[in-house]
Amino acid sequence: MTERLVVIGGDAAGMSAASQARRRRPRRNLEIIVFERSGWVSYSACGEPFHIGGVVDPIDKLVARSPARFAADEIDVHLHSEVVDLDTAARTVTVRRTGGVVEVGFDQLVYATGAAPVIPTMREADAQGVFTLRTLDDATAIKAAAATATRAVVVGGGYIGLEVAEAFLGLGLPTTIVTSGEGLMNRALDEDMQARVTKAVVRQGVGVHTGIRVDCLVGDQGRVTGVEADGDVLPADLVVLGVGARPEVTLAKAGGIPLGPTGAVAVDDRQRTTIDGVWAAGDCAEATHFLTGVPTNPLLGTVANKQGRVAGINIGGGDARFPGVLNTAITRFGDTEMSRTGLSESEAAAAGIRCASGMVESSTIAGYMPGAEPMTVKALCERRTGRLLGAQIVGGPGSAKRIDTFVAAIWGGLSGHDLAMSDLSYAPPFSGVWDPVMIASRRAADRALGVTT
Amino acid sequence: MTERLVVIGGDAAGMSAASQARRRRPRRNLEIIVFERSGWVSYSACGEPFHIGGVVDPIDKLVARSPARFAADEIDVHLHSEVVDLDTAARTVTVRRTGGVVEVGFDQLVYATGAAPVIPTMREADAQGVFTLRTLDDATAIKAAAATATRAVVVGGGYIGLEVAEAFLGLGLPTTIVTSGEGLMNRALDEDMQARVTKAVVRQGVGVHTGIRVDCLVGDQGRVTGVEADGDVLPADLVVLGVGARPEVTLAKAGGIPLGPTGAVAVDDRQRTTIDGVWAAGDCAEATHFLTGVPTNPLLGTVANKQGRVAGINIGGGDARFPGVLNTAITRFGDTEMSRTGLSESEAAAAGIRCASGMVESSTIAGYMPGAEPMTVKALCERRTGRLLGAQIVGGPGSAKRIDTFVAAIWGGLSGHDLAMSDLSYAPPFSGVWDPVMIASRRAADRALGVTT
């Protein structure tokens, strides 16, 4: 008997699930139908700021696989097809598309609706010239607006805020970032590291207003003219709101799929919801924190790809498990790179975990080599055990990807002392003889254990 | 009572030991005397090729700490002072220096004599224009010779051969590498990866002759004029022999310090030799392989620094242990980077370990980003367990330092599947959404376990 798998949402999580299921079960055994409300599937949302900045053009370079390629794998992709209702008892989805509304039955369902940008409830938030960035269509619209804009304000100092500001800077568009955080990247980094990011962004020519809550936008005849914060108005004819995103769970609620404490869909490590044959993956789903075991909602493309893959393998008859997240992230602003993984000091404190940090101000490569740039590495170790809990890096080219060394170390349960004496690579064009990763780890472990090594 | 520590050899291992011992024991408790036969201490041998190439100048930029700075820490450094005899029963060293020979007693001894370059026994090996590269004085001499040379041959295709050839290329000096290996880096990389390095070096303008054993050098009136190999003569007025190095153990033998199976000084994980109060560290000493437990002699600056540190902490009354090596190494040739860690396929086979490899040809950053360059990652996993055993990387800028992720993963005992699903960082300027490190790890583990994930 042929089963039918319906996938709601055709980006990373949904298409990974579809592809993996197809690899294991042929068409005669499993029909796969994907409904995607936009005109795109399988695209790199993370690449959108680079399209806005003109670095990646045309935009379809961001599409990893076209609907035609999925069709060749007998995965039926329906674009501009929005699922507007979900009945998990009757096992049907209701789909609105050109020509009307249809009802489609399913045996298995992958819920992969992603997340929607948060739009603060405030005056003129819907004025012309105000954007959020999530989809390729958003990117196209912002790029078009930037071509004629004279002054931009980006609200939000996280990844999207920074990346959009960098894109605008590249276009020569005067840009200011406004954030309620003490510094930029305030949800990712501790304050000491935020300060380094903020300084780097200002140095490179973007205005930054920290610790400021936006009161409202200001408009004139339906077009945005400024951002009002703390009583002052920053003039702007282009405003991008990058203040976060929330999991798209409207349909999940309609279908009675239970949500978890984060407000995203609750899943087990096989990406199963509590409803038989209903799976969830990606930004709309929760992910367990690798260290604390607490449900999180990381909203990261890597997680979406992995969770979709896990769901698809399991639907295909395999046995895959998603091991959890460290909320690892990385980005850059111009020549300044930044990354983080695991717990920050503030997160550890919030989780009641006693820890100590170690920091080193060093250089990206051997200090005597031309091109050496400052790099700061901060590591966090658990008190009593010395176990590595997290790390943050801010620095010049070649800094940030070193975070992966910490990820692997945390994954293997290494202490800061273990990593400090591990056999990391060294040559002058790549690091000092003691890689700053090792020095920060040792300092953190020394402080965590109250020793000097 | 004041003890006296004598350190033989003032580079990475010796000076690290001296510094760490001093940190823990003041002058009134421990007198520290370092004898160094050259005119330099605490210098970066790994940086020498960059001085030759004119990238780092003047050469004293390569000196991390001057004798004056050690003197400020009450560490007495004696330059141009060669220890010519060692009596571990009488606990004395005999030192030759300007003005004659003196005998100095010790309570503790750190044997840190380093390694000497291998000079093949062949005709004209001592002709003018023939060099090895080990010390700063060697680097100075090669740089001076390169200034007037018209054609160079580098014998040996390992790290030193490659780095010297890159330096010569940068100086515009026509250069050919001759190696007995099937490809360049043949002791570090498997054949498939060697081929990539060889191709990159040739593409960048250096001649490469592989699989060729040098018969002899050719000279005229005491000056080198060519390199004879397989009956042909490659003309050259500058020849650098980079065919390896051997631990400096003459004094160890004289003093009855036992050597291990590699021919280097045998040490335990505290850097103790079997003679009470006599320690050894760095290139002259063995280092246990982290995976196989077999003694090795890695001849790497990182190992020298760590072993010296361990010896110094223990002399100072602390308790430090050296955890072993993966023979991690990294270098570059122009815009091509390469690195390796753990076991190669051939090493695993030689050690009787059954394993499988996984390889991926990918790009350094997201494929749609400008600046994306090819990168090949190869991982090795143990059969039956899937445990990661080693990795090799060859690729464009940003490739090679990723080897550290494998180092940390191996250190923590991760399987290829563990690393493949770990939370490594991703953003388009840094990698594809599945970092090639993850893909290679998964493929290797799949093949090792005979599964498809």
The pLDDT tens digits of the residues spanning A317-376 come to: 999 999 999 999 999 999 999 999 999 999 999 999 999 999 999 999 999 999 999 999
Q: Judge: B62–A368 Cβ closer than 8 Å, yes or no.
A: yes
Looking at the partner chain, which of A12, A50, A423 has a beta carbon nearest the beta carbon of B302?
A423
What's the Cα-to-Cα distance from A369 to each of A212, A346, A398, B61, B329, rounded to whole Å? 41, 36, 14, 9, 18
Task: Show residues of chain B in contact with A408, CB under 8 Å.
Answer: 405-406, 408-409, 412, 414, 419, 422, 424
**Is B332 an 8 Å CB contact of chain A?**
yes
**Element (DSSP H or E) covering residue B152:** strand B152-155
For A300, the closest chain B residue by CA position comes to B426
**Is A439 an 8 Å CB contact of chain B?**
no
Tokens of B357: 């490899």
Global pTM value: 0.97
Each residue's pLDDT tens digit, A168-185 = 999 999 999 999 999 999
Give the pLDDT band of residue A453 (cuts 50, 70, 90).
confident
Considering Cα of A350, then A352, then A358, then A363, what sign does the dihedral take? negative
B229-253 burial code (b ≥16 CB/10 A, e <16): beeeebebbbbbbbbbbbbbbebbe
Q: Judge: A401–B55 Cβ closer than 8 Å, yes or no.
A: no
The span from the CA of A285 to the CA of A305, in Å, is 12
Tokens of B141: 């001499």
**Is B46 an 8 Å CB contact of chain A?**
yes
Q: Does position B404 have pLDDT exceeding 90, yes or no?
A: yes
Q: What percent of chain A has pLDDT over 90?
A: 98
Task: Show residues of chain A in contact with B66, CB under 8 Å.
Answer: none
Give the pLDDT band of residue B230 (cuts 50, 70, 90).
confident
Each residue's pLDDT tens digit, A91-137 = 999 999 989 999 999 999 999 999 999 999 999 999 999 999 999 99
Looking at the partner chain, which of B47, B330, B366 has a beta carbon nearest the beta carbon of A366?
B47
**Is B322 an 8 Å CB contact of chain A?**
yes
For B312, the closest chain A residue by CA position comes to A453
DSSP class of residue B14?
H
Task: Show residues of chain A in contact with B319, CB under 8 Å.
Answer: none
Looking at the partner chain, which of B313, B402, B413 has a beta carbon nearest the beta carbon of A401?
B402
Give the pLDDT band of residue A231 (cuts 50, 70, 90).
confident
**Is B389 an 8 Å CB contact of chain A?**
no
B46 in active site: yes
Beta strands in B334-373 (DSSP E): 336-342, 355-363
Nearest to B344 by CA among B161, B185, B158, B201: B185
Distance from the Cα of B44 to chain A's closest Cα (Å) equals 9
Instruction: Kindly state the average pLDDT of the residues B135-145.
Output: 97
B404-440 burial code (b ≥16 CB/10 A, e <16): bbbbbbbbbebbbbbbbbbbbbbbbbbbbbbbbbbbb
Looking at the partner chain, which of A302, A323, A414 has a beta carbon nearest the beta carbon of B408?
A414
- Residue B210 CB neighbour total at 10 angstroms: 17
Task: Show residues of chain B in contact with A306, CB under 8 Å.
Answer: 421
**Is B327 an 8 Å CB contact of chain A?**
yes
Phi, psi of A60, rounded to the nearest 5 degrees: -70, -5
Give the β-pairing of B100-105 and A278-280. Answer: unpaired
What's the Cα-to-Cα distance from A237 to each of A223, A224, B289, rounded to whole Å? 8, 6, 62
For an interface test with B, which of A313, A321, A330, A401 has the most B Cβ atoms less than 10 Å from its Cβ?
A: A401
Distance from the Cα of B311 to chain A's closest Cα (Å) equals 12
